[in-house]
């Protein structure tokens, strides 16, 4: 059974702190995507990771992919309130079928 | 740039009623998808299409039908709505590319079945 698991599901962190969101998946894939969703809004693409060892950075967010461990991480550096949102990872197993994690709801507290 | 457009944005149905959700994309993408999003469950794939005239089942297809008569449009139908189909529905599209299948999402349709 194909599974994509994220943890934590909920994350409350203070501004200025660092934290990592984890995305584990059950079946080999070398294509993983991170999305952001604001309340009541659609999903916005953040990162596209297409090979083992891929690392992408945008502002205070950095994503990495370890296909051997079937693990991706989304690292948040010096969090700010604007990063409050729900973050999803999605794995493409078969070529254009995306399986999503349950999401991590992030709240950054002043 | 319109991207992926869903119609309608909100809808309330009575149990047993039928409706069709429309998704249109202007990016000439081959692949299109319908997902539903429920609290605590992430997004689950209902049906998808790899090209005009083709459709396939996803994780949770029961109670839904789809059609892709034109490349740019993907329709999701509920023949007899049930309260369990109360959800937020997202359409997405992606191009065929061996190396990058990034999906682009519509703004969502919030459906309530009473």
CB contact under 8 A, A45 and B104: yes
- Quote the pLDDT of residue A91: 92
pLDDT of residue B1: 63
Do the chains contact at A101 and B42, CB–CB below 8 Å?
A: yes
User: Would you say B50 and B56 are in contact if contact means Cβ atoms under 8 Å apart?
Assistant: yes
Least confident of A77-91, A92-106, B19-33, B56-70: A92-106
* Banded model confidence at residue B72, pLDDT cuts 50, 70, 90: very high
Distance from CA of A105 to the nearest CA of B (A): 10
Each residue's pLDDT tens digit, B18-51: 999 999 999 999 999 999 999 878 899 999 999 9
Q: Tell how far CA B104 is from the center of its chain.
A: 12
Sequence ranges of the domains in chain A = 4-109
B113 in Cβ contact with B11 (< 8 Å): no
Say whether pLDDT at B57 is over 90.
yes
Tell whether B114 lies on the interface with A, counting CB pairs under 8 A.
no
SS3 A82: helix
Closest-CA distance, A78 to chain B, in angstroms, reads 26
pLDDT band (50, 70, 90) for residue A92: confident
* Mean pLDDT (chain A, rounded): 93
| First-to-final CA distance of chain A | 41
**pLDDT of B96 over the 80 cut:** no
Nearest to A42 among B33, B58, B90 (CB): B90
Whether B94 sits inside 8 A of A102 (CB atoms) is: no
Beta carbon pairs, A and B, within 8 Å: 57
**pLDDT score for B37:** 95
What percentage of chain B carries pLDDT values higher than 70? 96
Q: A4-109 has which CATH code?
A: 2.60.40.10
């Amino acid at each position: 059974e194909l599974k994509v698991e994220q943890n934590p599901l909920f994350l409350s962190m203070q501004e200025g702190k660092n934290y990592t969101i984890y995305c584990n998946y059950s079946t080999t894939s070398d294509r993983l995507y991170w999305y952001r969703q604001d309340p009541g809004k659609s999903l916005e693409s953040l990162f596209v990771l297409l090979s083992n060892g891929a690392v992408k950075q945008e502002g205070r967010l950095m994503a990495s992919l370890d296909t051997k461990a079937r693990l991706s991480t989304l690292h948040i550096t010096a969090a700010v309130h604007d990063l409050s949102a729900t973050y999803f990872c999605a794995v493409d197993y078969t070529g254009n079928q995306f399986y999503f994690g349950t999401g991590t709801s992030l709240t950054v507290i002043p | 740039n319109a991207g992926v457009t869903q119609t309608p944005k909100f809808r309330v149905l009575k149990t047993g009623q039928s409706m069709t959700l429309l998704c249109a994309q202007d990016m000439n993408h081959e692949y299109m998808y319908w997902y539903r999003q429920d609290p605590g469950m992430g997004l689950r794939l209902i049906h998808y299409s790899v090209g005009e005239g083709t459709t396939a089942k996803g994780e949770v297809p029961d109670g839904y039908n789809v059609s892709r008569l034109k490349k740019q449009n993907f329709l999701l139908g509920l023949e007899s709505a049930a309260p369990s189909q109360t959800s937020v529905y997202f359409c997405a599209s992606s191009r065929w590319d061996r190396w990058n299948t990034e999906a682009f999402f519509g703004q969502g349709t919030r459906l309530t079945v009473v």
